Chains A and B, each alone.
Chain A
Amino acid sequence: MPKFNVSVTVMFRPNILDPQGAAVERALKNQAGLASGVSISNVRVGKVISMTVEGSDERGVQERVKAIADRILANPVMEQYSVEVLEESAK
């Protein structure tokens, strides 16, 4: 059975306050020297969950992982997610 490297990125929904992202953004903006000439906004902090999943094809794996993400990895009340599936290169 082929193996796939899957990463699920979970972020707060845009309408949900992200105090951690806001704190990071303030810190970035305070580092005037480091960030000079760069305009930074909309900093959000999320999380990435990576895993190896066996399956026959990429699409099937995508569907299975989405079902898991909907129920466990993300809480739809406050979060949204995206799933990236890459077939593990043959060794």
Chain B
Amino acid sequence: MRAAVVVFPGSNCDRDALRAAELAGFDVRFVWHKESAVDGFDLIVLPGGFSFGDYLRTGAIARWSPIMSDVVRQAERGVMVLGICNGFQILTEAGLLPGVLLRNKGLLFLSEDVALRVENASTAFTSAYKRGQTIRLPIAHGDGNYYVDAEGLKRLEGEGRVVFRYADEPPNGALNGIAGIINERGNVLGMMPHPERHCEDILGSHDGKGVFESLMKDGVPK
């Protein structure tokens, strides 16, 4: 199984993502955002960070990087795409996931561990977890307040596409406590918390490694 971690100027969780995917058994490569193709991978990770300094809007400029037209093409082919934090923001800007990440309700940048409930454990990203299981992952963002219009929310909730939800009051104000969502086809997932930062006990927890282990087992294009 091969994984690509796309690196944008300002990405800062790219090495963590590479390490987490390697630990799960992936053969991982970095792919620079100026490349025109990201071909031959089973998983494409858009890592966290502050691509292009969050100028204009978070993810708004990265979305127009040369690599992104092929990321969209690969997603349409069924390749697994995981967007973490800034990666999630880029996926919404690119139209691969609905909604948008607004400024945190309290305006502060939040860096803390939060409790998350796994709402859907039958995705290729979460099969290693149990439905309803609570895990703890770090968040580190200024714009994580998920918003989507009423119709979009109804679809996400009705179709079981809210995959992760803040177990307590959402620290960033996210609608319905949404922390992570998946696309209709089930191959594109975006989440604000950082599973790649909690994959080894030496770093305090391995609650996040289930994401990469699930993908290793079930992340095969169908």
Contacts and interface: CB of A to CB of B under 8 A. Distances in A.
Given A16-B102, A16-B147, A17-B102, A75 B60 contact: yes
Given A72-B60, A72-B64, A77 B103 contact: no
A20 B148 CA distance: 20
Contacts of A72: 56, 60, 64
Instruction: Sort chain B's interface into a size bin.
Output: 10 to 19
B107 A19 contact: yes
Interface residues of A, number: 10
B17 to A, nearest CB: 25
Contact of B99 (A19, A23, A73, A77): A77
B57 A75 contact: yes
A14 to B, nearest CB: 13
Nearest to A78: B100
Interface in B37-86: 56-57, 60, 64
A17 to B, nearest CB: 7
B106 interface: yes
A20 B103 CA distance: 9
B107 A17 contact: no
Main SS at interface, chain B: loop
Interface in B131-180: 145, 147-149, 173
A77 B107 contact: no
Contact of B148 (A23, A75, A77): A77
B151 to A, nearest CB: 12
23 contacts: A16-B102, A17-B105, A17-B145, A17-B173, A19-B103, A19-B104, A19-B105, A19-B106, A19-B107, A20-B107, A23-B107, A72-B56, A75-B57, A75-B60, A75-B100, A77-B92, A77-B99, A77-B100, A77-B148, A77-B149, A78-B100, A78-B102, A78-B147
Given A77-B149, A78-B102, 16 more contacts: A17-B102, A17-B145, A17-B173, A19-B103, A19-B104, A20-B103, A20-B107, A23-B107, A72-B60, A75-B57, A75-B93, A77-B100, A77-B147, A77-B148, A78-B100, A78-B147
Interface of B: 56-57, 60, 64, 92-93, 99-100, 102-107, 145, 147-149, 173
